[in-house]
A and B are shown apart, each in its own frame.
Chain A
Amino acid sequence: MNDRLSKLQQDITLIELVDRVLNKGVVLAGDITLSVADVDLIYVSLRALLASAGTIDRLQLDTG
């Protein structure tokens, strides 16, 4: 149980990291930015880390 919870905490931490770096943080009117499609590409390449739906399912199984 403790191992599973600590793995879960790691997954959540990675999801939260990627969410912060890509979606939060200050934005100024820079002249070079990523397109929305580029950001989507990053999400695709990070899907192994993200797997957020699966993580939430497991969280509910663990605590339900």
Chain B
Amino acid sequence: MLYLYAFAERPVRLPDGLGLEGSALSAEEADGVTAVVSAVTGGTVRPSEEAVLAHAHVVDALAELNEAVVPARFGRAFSDAERLRRVMAERSDALGRALRHVRGCVELGLRAIPPANATGEAPASGRDYMRWRLAEQHRIERLGDDLDAPLAALARASTGMQTAPGLLSAAYLVPRERVDDFRRAVRELERTHGGVALACTGPWPPYSFATADPDGS
């Protein structure tokens, strides 16, 4: 079967390294889009830590050699090349759009831990607690908006700020030449927002911006 790593534009530059289970990389083309795959024995994808890291390494190496790479999610394979090309042809418009969208960009991740609430502990009583919770949620959302706006302005696209208890996170699609500016902007935000802890991760291949939905979403 053919295990799928990513899509790229023609002509693709394949890295020297090997894929899952030491398999050799190859390219399959359909309607102007190239899929990077390797022939893996067996009828199922065997999940393992090694396989996840092998997938990640192939996508990383591809993203270093090619201007536009749309990563595939781990664990996707096709029984044969004909089947893969048929699926690619069905989605070739969306895949072409996705490749143009990410061309020349990397993904940078942001995680933020908000400072502890200045108003102190959560109240014990029901109504006060609900009011406190709401105020706390608004505070986190405002902080998220404050952090997102200047970073999104440097990026081609943003996932928007996701909030979880005690944690904000987002991913940005950033042109390579603006990566240094982006990192500087993160440090500046940490300086101007007292007490917030920011971690900027990447550069990643654009996993968070890899979609091929027919409606373009």
Q: Which residues of A contact B (CB under 8 A)?
A: 8-9, 12-13, 16-18, 20-34, 38-39, 41-42, 45-46, 56, 59-60, 62-64
Contact = CB atoms under 8 A, between A and B. Distances in A.
B1 A22 contact: no
B45 A34 contact: yes
B73 A23 contact: yes
A17 B166 CA distance: 21
Interface residues on B, range: 35 or more
A59 B109 CA distance: 17
Nearest to B70: A26
A45 B51 CA distance: 12
B73 A32 contact: no
B78 A30 contact: yes
Interface string B70-84: 111111111100011
5 contacts: A20-B207, A26-B71, A26-B212, A28-B88, A42-B49
A30 B113 CA distance: 38
A17 B203 CA distance: 11
B4 to A, nearest CB: 7
Q: Which secondary structure dominates where chain A touches chain B?
A: helix
A32 B49 contact: no
A22 B113 contact: no
A60 B113 contact: yes
Contacts of A23: 73
A41 B49 CA distance: 10
A21 B78 contact: no
B208 A26 contact: no
A52 to B, nearest CB: 10
Given A27-B76, A38-B75, A12 B199 contact: yes
A16 B83 CA distance: 32
Given A26-B7, A59-B197, A20 B208 contact: yes
Given A12-B111, A42-B47, A63-B115, 9 more contacts: A20-B71, A20-B207, A22-B75, A26-B7, A26-B70, A26-B71, A26-B73, A46-B52, A62-B197
Contact of B56 (A21, A31, A56): A21
B109 A16 contact: yes
Contacts of B211: 26
